[in-house]
């Protein structure tokens, strides 16, 4: 007889895609349900699971009046999550975090349903700080977090089986085999700041590099050039990683973990503290300390300085690639599956 599992998490693809990888592994052993917002996770998760939408509101830093509605939305979300969980009666809940996961985990705790959660960043986000109090196990990407609480288990990040593939499919991309390839990733929603700094120097960059640029939805604002490839979004990051020689982008936990797994040098432009809780700075510093990345601070960023940083970084690619030789390949997926299956 199949067991039942509820997945939750959303806001960005970094919260959604690891759930998709686990669902693919567990679909033969579990009846799968998903509780999330009406955001981007609904479009993805509803294709593979029965979907229950609940309201969700994100903490907006520096916006006091907007944040005043959070308690009211949270209470409503907990009520709706509790109602959904009662109807599903799952054996376990898996949370990948994000603000939509919080009411689900609180509701599960109220109903005495086991919760397994996962934190991707070097430091805990606000939602997962609270979820840690309600969950049974908190899986983490970074070993330094293990031991700070008896619930915390070091597993590493979650990757699909596709990440093992090394084939290089060029698809319809325009690439000059004589030039190195730079993959630009601003996160699942793109980065307006990186785009603004990049567009004025495209003509200079394509003299030295192939460029694959994930701009974010609605940001294809530049005409076509030879060996410049702009994509709003993609569902095949693995193929792009396999084509790349290095990556330029933000330092969200998902992208940096994927680049690390694929052994790609990273030139990182973390979101500054005013735009985030500082997690991206900590992520970036961690990979810089390992010798596989460099940091460009957004406060110092201009098109000219970005062009200079990319050129200097490219000169030292062999140094960053050599630093990977001592680093292990870690995919926490199977360990997390074992933890999930331990709850009966």
Answer left, alpha or beta for residue 187, where phi above 0 means left and psi between -120 and 50 means alpha.
Answer: left
Class of the domain covering 165-326 = alpha beta
Tokens of 127: 């939602």
Q: Where are the domains of the chain?
A: 3-154, 165-326
CA distance 84 to 63: 31
Tokens of 318: 């062999």
Sheet containing 246-249, strands listed edge to edge, beginning at the edge strand earlier in sequence: 228-231, 210-214, 181-185, 246-249, 266-268, 293-295
Measured distance between the N- and C-terminal CA atoms of the chain, rounded to whole angstroms: 12
CB 123 within 8 A of CB 97: no
Least Cα distance to 210 among 339, 330, 314, 329 occurs for 314
Sheet containing 50-53, strands listed edge to edge, beginning at the edge strand earlier in sequence: 50-53, 30-36, 3-8, 92-95, 115-119, 137-140, 152-154
pLDDT tens digits in sequence order for the chain, 344 residues long: 899 999 999 887 778 999 999 999 999 999 999 999 988 899 999 999 999 999 987 655 555 555 556 677 889 999 999 999 999 999 999 999 888 999 999 999 999 999 999 999 998 888 899 999 999 999 999 988 888 889 999 999 999 988 988 888 777 899 999 999 999 997 655 567 888 899 899 999 999 999 999 887 766 666 678 899 988 878 788 999 999 999 999 998 889 999 999 999 999 999 876 555 578 999 999 999 999 999 999 888 999 999 999 999 999 999 999 999 999 889 999 999 999 999 98
Tokens of 344: 């009966």
According to CATH, the superfamily of the domain at 3-154 is: Glycogen Phosphorylase B; (3.40.50.2000)
Rg value, the chain, Cα? 20
Count of C-beta atoms within a 10 Å radius of residue 66 = 12
CB 209 within 8 A of CB 181: yes
**Whole-model pTM?**
0.87
Fold match, 3-154 / 165-326: yes
């Amino acid at each position: 007889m199949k067991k039942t599992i509820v997945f939750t998490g959303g806001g960005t693809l970094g919260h959604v895609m690891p759930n998709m990888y686990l669902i693919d592994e567990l679909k033969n052993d579990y009846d799968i349900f998903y509780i999330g917002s009406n955001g981007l996770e609904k479009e993805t998760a509803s294709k593979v699971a029965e979907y229950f939408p609940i309201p969700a509101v994100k903490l907006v830093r520096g916006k006091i009046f907007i944040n005043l509605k959070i308690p009211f939305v949270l209470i409503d979300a907990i009520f709706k999550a509790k109602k959904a969980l009662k109807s599903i009666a799952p054996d376990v809940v898996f949370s990948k975090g994000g603000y939509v996961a919080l009411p689900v985990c609180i509701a599960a705790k109220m109903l005495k349903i086991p919760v397994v959660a996962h934190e991707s960043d070097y430091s805990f986000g606000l939602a997962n700080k609270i979820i840690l109090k309600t969950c049974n196990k908190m899986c983490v990407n970074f070993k330094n977090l293990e031991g700070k609480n008896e619930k915390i288990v070091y597993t590493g990040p979650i990757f699909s089986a596709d990440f093992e593939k090394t084939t290089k499919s060029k698809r319809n991309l325009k690439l000059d085999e004589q030039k190195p390839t730079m993959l630009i990733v601003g996160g699942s929603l793109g980065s307006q700041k990186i785009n603004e700094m990049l567009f004025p120097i495209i003509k200079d960059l394509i003299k030295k590099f192939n460029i694959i640029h994930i701009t974010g939805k609605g940001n294809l604002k530049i005409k076509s050039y030879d060996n410049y490839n702009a994509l709003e979004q993609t569902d095949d990051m693995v193929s792009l990683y396999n084509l790349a020689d290095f990556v330029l982008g933000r330092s969200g936990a998902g992208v940096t973990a994927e680049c690390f797994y694929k052994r790609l040098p990273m030139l990182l432009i973390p979101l500054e503290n005013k735009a985030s809780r500082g997690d991206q700075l900590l992520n970036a510093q961690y990979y810089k300390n390992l010798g596989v990345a460099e940091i460009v601070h957004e406060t110092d960023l201009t098109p000219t300085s970005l062009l200079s940083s990319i050129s200097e970084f490219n000169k030292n690619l062999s140094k960053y690639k050599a630093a990977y030789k001592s680093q292990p390949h870690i995919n926490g997926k199977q360990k997390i599956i074992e933890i999930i299956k331990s709850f009966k």
